């Protein structure tokens, strides 16, 4: 009978090489990698069980020993470095749509001022390295760090999540919100 360790598979994501586009500089020193592109510079410290090597216009990621943890770190490291390259060349953006009567938002310098139906206005500071623009009722958050863009968009959305009865609140552009029937509609069906 064969032992389960005989069937150890490699990471499908981790073994793919990353192609470095023109105009992007990669600097690997020890356990740190720095990616410099037209939009800015990002740094990342990877796990000591993971090896990152730059060979010409490709980056290869490998692990020193294969365990359950290192297989997960292998794919994660590859995706994070790929996102750094994409962020410094193209950038990332998230769009939030605000729906509801009387709900407003405006950008004033590095702050977003919002009226969300509370007894007080809500002011949110835009983190360093991110940009916020508002067109009609759509807030666009953009930056080079995918994690920062996503985290800031999620924190804005959490201020007034879309409610299921009238659909008021923040939603991502393209997000489908399933509406619930109210008390009147539920009572009329019986």
On whether residue 116 sits in a domain, the answer given is yes
144 in Cβ contact with 92 (< 8 Å): yes
Asked if residue 163 belongs to a domain, the reply is yes
Q: Which helix (H) or strand (E) holds 104?
A: strand 104-108
Domain boundary pick from 56, 74, 89: 89
Tell whether 21 and 75 lie within a shared domain: yes
Q: What pLDDT score was predicted for residue 185?
A: 56
Which residue matches tokens 């600097």? 27
One domain for residues 105 and 170: yes
Strand partners, 63: 50
What is the structure's pLDDT at 189? Answer: 57
Asked if residue 171 is part of any domain, the answer here is: yes
pLDDT at 135: 94
Between CA 145 and CA 142 the distance in angstroms is 9
Neighbours of 161 (CB within 10 A): 12
Task: Report the pLDDT value the prediction gives residue 6, as an integer from 0 to 100.
Answer: 44
79 & 24 share domain: yes
Residue 187, SS3 per DSSP: helix
- Give the span between the Cα atoms of 124 and 76, in whole angstroms: 31
Q: Which of 71, 89, 107 is the last residue of a domain?
A: 89
- Residue 86: the pLDDT is 95
In a domain, 182, yes or no: no
Report yes or no: 32 and 44 within 8 Å, Cβ to Cβ. Answer: yes
Q: How far apart are the first and last CA of the chain?
A: 62
Angle at alpha carbon of residue 70, lines to 81 and 55, rounded to 5°: 40
pLDDT, one tens digit for every residue, the chain (190 residues): 444 444 456 668 888 899 999 999 999 999 999 999 999 999 999 999 999 999 889 999 999 888 888 888 999 999 999 999 999 999 999 999 999 898 999 999 899 999 999 999 999 999 999 999 999 999 999 999 999 999 999 999 999 999 888 889 999 998 888 888 878 755 555 5
Q: Which two tokens stand for residue 16?
A: 């793919």
Asked if 74 and 98 sit in the same domain, the reply is no
| 166 part of a folded domain | yes
| Sheet of strand 138-143: strand arrangement | 130-135, 138-143, 92-99, 169-172
Looking at residue 36, what is its pLDDT? 95
Count up the domains in the chain and report the number. Answer: 2
Domain with residue 85: its CATH number is 3.90.930.12
- What was the pLDDT predicted at 104? 93
Q: Are residues 101 and 173 in the same domain?
A: yes
Of 61, 57, 105, 104, the C-alpha closest to 81 is 61
Shared domain check, 168 and 102: yes
- Report yes or no on 190 lying in a domain: no
Domain span at residue 31 reads 9-89
Residue 80: CB atoms within 10 A of its CB come to: 16
Predicted local confidence at residue 9, as pLDDT: 62
């Amino acid at each position: 009978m064969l032992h389960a360790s005989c069937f150890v598979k490699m990471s499908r994501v981790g073994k793919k090489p990353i192609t470095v586009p023109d105009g992007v500089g990669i600097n690997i020193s020890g356990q740190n990698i720095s990616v410099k592109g037209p939009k800015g510079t990002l740094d990342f410290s990877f796990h000591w069980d993971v090896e990152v090597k730059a060979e010409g216009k490709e980056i290869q990621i490998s692990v020193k020993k294969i365990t359950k943890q290192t297989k997960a770190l292998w794919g994660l490291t590859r995706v994070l470095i790929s996102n750094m390259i994409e962020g410094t060349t193209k950038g990332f953006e998230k769009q939030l749509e605000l729906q509801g009567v009387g709900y407003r938002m405006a950008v004033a310098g590095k702050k977003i001022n919002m009226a969300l139906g509370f007894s007080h206005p809500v002011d949110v500071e835009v983190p360093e390295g991110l940009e916020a623009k508002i067109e009609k009722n759509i807030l666009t958050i953009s930056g080079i760090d995918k994690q920062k863009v996503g985290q800031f968009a999620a924190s804005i959305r959490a201020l007034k999540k879309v409610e299921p009865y009238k659909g008021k609140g923040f939603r991502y552009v393209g997000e489908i919100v399933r509406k619930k029937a109210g008390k009147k509609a539920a009572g009329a069906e019986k």
